[in-house]
């Protein structure tokens, strides 16, 4: 695996690899993504092989600019321009009716396609030079912890992809918000840094996700999970409120905003602000998973709207205590 930097010469190398149908991990503001030419079926199949990803799991296509949407969708409704003006480039993915030319490898065999214009300068530079859309799911084995550093990518995908561009730690730290605009009433299919309150200033959102909503990345019941068994402590029940360790005799790691009143093998103090917590979460899980801990406990943060995306990730990554 080539290890590239954000220097223009290295980014040109990354573009040449992508044009040759290779896989290149890129830093996004959300998490590191495994990029491939979204118009090359062989490159798209390589994503599924490298990740061990189910073939019916759709991919998000990343574009350099909103104006490229027309190449991927049947129409661009006015609400798209409104949201794009407010949130693109940025961590918002929009689901729209797909153009007939979009590969079923991208759509997962559905009639919709998920699209985003990223804010990170590295994929922006690569996309402008590449000239086409890039499919880029998270650069990790399917269902496991998303990577927020190049080291995370190297640890899990060495020997499976051509290169990784090291752009430092991701600034947002969790995956993009996904909004379905393919139906009459828009719905949030995956929460992220663009919150419900932020979106509600620009469109009316339906209250619930329909059972027949499009499949989207990161929506499985179990996802983002460490290999180490991981349990959540309910919001409102701080570790200090537990009279004794839930797993006596086992090396236990704890991720929480406050320490427990019983001994743990390792404690990861988590930030009190939701944006900082999101930025730190996956790195803490990667670090915890690399220790000798036999079990991990995560104290859930406040059950408030600003924390919705974090609760979503933790619910999928952990089991109930």
The annotation status of 146 as a binding-site residue, yes or no, is yes
The annotation status of 185 as a binding-site residue, yes or no, is no
The annotation status of 53 as a binding-site residue, yes or no, is yes
The annotation status of 62 as a binding-site residue, yes or no, is yes
- CA torsion through residues 10, 12, 18, 19, sign: negative
Task: Show the tokens assigned to 235.
Answer: 């919001």
The annotation status of 232 as a binding-site residue, yes or no, is no
The annotation status of 228 as a binding-site residue, yes or no, is no
The annotation status of 196 as a binding-site residue, yes or no, is no
3-state secondary structure of 76: coil
The annotation status of 176 as a binding-site residue, yes or no, is yes
The annotation status of 116 as a binding-site residue, yes or no, is yes
DSSP string spanning 225-269? B-SS-EEEEPTT--GGGSSS-SSTTS-EEEEESS--SS--SEEEE
- All residues at 6 or more sequence positions from 66 whose CB lies less than 8 Å from its CB, including other chains: 80, 81, 84, 88, 117
The annotation status of 13 as a binding-site residue, yes or no, is no
24-51 burial code (b ≥16 CB/10 A, e <16): bbbbbbbbbbbbbbbbbeebbebbbebb
Length of the chain equals: 321
The annotation status of 224 as a binding-site residue, yes or no, is yes
Please state the residue numbers annotated as binding site for ATP. 53, 112, 138, 146, 190, 224
Please state the residue numbers annotated as binding site for L-threonine. 30, 62, 116, 136, 176
Please state the residue numbers annotated as binding site. 30, 53, 62, 112, 116, 136, 138, 146, 176, 190, 224
């Amino acid at each position: 695996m080539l290890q590239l930097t954000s220097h223009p010469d290295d980014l040109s190398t990354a573009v040449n690899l992508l044009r040759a149908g290779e896989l290149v991990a890129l830093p996004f503001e959300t998490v590191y993504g495994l990029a491939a030419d979204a118009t090359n079926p062989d490159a798209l199949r390589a994503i599924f092989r490298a990740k061990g990803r189910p073939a019916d799991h759709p991919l998000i296509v990343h574009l350099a600019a909103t104006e490229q949407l027309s190449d991927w969708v049947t129409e661009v409704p006015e609400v798209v321009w409104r949201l794009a003006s407010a949130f693109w480039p940025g961590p918002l993915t929009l689901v729209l009716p797909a153009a007939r030319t979009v590969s079923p490898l991208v759509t997962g065999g559905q009639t919709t396609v998920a699209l985003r214009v990223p804010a990170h300068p590295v994929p922006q530079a690569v996309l402008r030079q590449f000239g086409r859309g890039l499919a880029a799911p998270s650069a990790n084995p399917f269902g496991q912890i998303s990577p927020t550093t190049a080291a995370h990518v190297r640890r899990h995908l060495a020997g499976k992809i051509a290169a990784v561009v090291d752009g430092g730690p991701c600034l947002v730290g969790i995956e993009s918000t996904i909004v379905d605009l393919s139906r009459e009433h828009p719905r949030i299919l995956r929460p992220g840094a663009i919150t419900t309150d932020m979106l509600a200033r620009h469109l009316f959102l339906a209250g619930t996700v329909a059972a027949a909503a499009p499949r989207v990345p990161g929506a499985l019941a179990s996802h983002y999970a460490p290999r180490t068994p991981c349990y959540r402590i309910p919001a409102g029940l701080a570790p200090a409120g537990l009279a004794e360790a839930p797993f006596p005799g086992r090396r236990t790691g704890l991720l929480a905003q406050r320490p427990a009143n019983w001994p743990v093998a390792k404690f990861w103090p988590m930030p009190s602000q939701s944006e900082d917590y999101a930025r730190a979460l996956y790195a803490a899980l990667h670090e915890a998973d690399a220790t000798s801990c036999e079990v991990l406990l995560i104290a859930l943060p406040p059950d408030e709207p600003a924390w919705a995306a974090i609760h979503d990730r933790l619910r999928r990554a952990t089991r109930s205590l």
